[in-house]
Amino acid sequence: MKKNFFIFNFIPSWLIILLPFFLITGPFLSDLVVSLVAILFLINSLKNKIKKYFDNYYFKFFCLFWVILIISSSLSNNVIISLKSSFFYFRFGFFSLCFWYLLDNNKNLIKYLFTSLLVCFSSLIIDGYIQYLFGKNLLGFELYNEYRVSSFFGSELILGSYLARFFPVLFALFIYLDEVKKNKLTLFFITIVFILSEGLIFLSGERLALFFMNLSAIFIILMIKNYRLYRLLTYLISLLLIIVMINVFPNAKQRLIDQTINDFTRGTFQNNDSNDNKLYIFSKPHNDMYISAYRIFLDNKFFGVGPRQFRNECENYSVSSYSCETHPHNTYMELLSEAGVFAFLIVAFLFLSIFFISLKHFVYKIFNLHKGTMNDFQVCLISSVLISLWPFSPSGSFFNNWMSIVYYFPVGILLWEVFKYKNPNKNTKKS
């Protein structure tokens, strides 16, 4: 019995607790952790005939999505390469289920996970500002292009993405723990972490990350019941910090503001083929990639060209010299072109469902109808999921291992929060 607990509970729990640290090292170790957690959960479920975590709409939709990916890869021009990505995609779904299972059975997991994320954020903040001020971080990594902060991520410019996507999760865990034990010191510390994270994302030069950080902050301010005024004041202070940085650090301003304005105007784009001053919703390269992806979809409507095959097929559909890259840089255009309309509809349905639930909650809050449809803990988790599925912006590859882990991390916690009260025998906070 103790052996089973060690293998199927203790080891996966600590792997998840340490996962925020593994994500900093890159995709290999973090993907290894996710795969191991998923496999251990699958073995445990089969061995002990655990059925609870498989009898829900989330798992059914995930299985349907996975089957579509398999079919899509099987019809691809590069079957083996595509199947390598799609066949093992099941690990992310089982990872979320295992996360839910562990939260059901380990009452201290939330506390340890919160501490883990807080230490990660604090380390990245300290190291990031050291790197910007002194030109090198604690490991000797220099500034990217002499002005962009990357901290421990080195040449991988994903520091901002890490902070933006995980802060709603960090704040969600804080809210959950704060309901049990009020801690003003921790609240103050979280406030400082948010303000400094906002500034560090600005210095990282990651425009999309800064957008997501502010989007989730506004979403949480509008939706949560507690700390609303406190969060608003914190957010205004963070904006003031960015305004100061705009005037103090001209290189960061050039990347975040000047280049963004230029990218949206074709006539001022650096590598532009013409100067017609046409205005685009997205930058010219992104616009052209989306057109290429849409053309691929028109010829492969049902199952696309296979996961990770945009890079091989786009040359036949390209509209300019910079319309072909490894992926279309938008989740929904990538799904349409690589996996087809059915995969697209599943993810779009998920986004729209969460969006309308959030909208309903907001209306309830405005008109003081009941108490709303979500608690503050759920609001923060859902904000993390929404920014991952946000359709109106460029994004990393949906099938990228690192990004997939970031997508599915809050899903496991959200599943536990939604379904935990349905099993009163489990050792949860409410029971």
Average pLDDT over residues 352-376: 85
Asked if residue 430 has pLDDT above 80, the reply is no
Percent of the chain with pLDDT over 90: 68
Check residue 265 and give its pLDDT: 59
Question: Phi and psi at residue 304, in whole multiples of 5°?
Answer: 65, -165
pLDDT in tens, 377-390: 999 999 999 999 99
C-alpha 10/C-alpha 180 separation (Å) is 24
Q: 93 or 286: which carries more pLDDT confidence?
A: 93
Rounded Cα distance between 331 and 164, Å, is 18
Inter-CA distances, 24 with 92, 123, 159, 175, Å: 18, 11, 9, 24
Q: Give the pLDDT band (50/70/90) at residue 5.
A: confident
423-430 contacts, C-beta under 8 A, 24 or more apart: 423/52, 423/104, 426/104, 426/105, 427/104, 427/105, 427/107, 428/103, 428/104, 428/107, 429/107, 429/176, 429/179, 429/180
Closest CA to 53 of 423, 429, 424: 423
Mean pLDDT for the chain overall: 88
Per-residue confidence (pLDDT) for residue 178, from 0 to 100: 86
* 127-164 residue pLDDT tens: 999 999 999 999 999 998 878 999 999 989 999 999 99
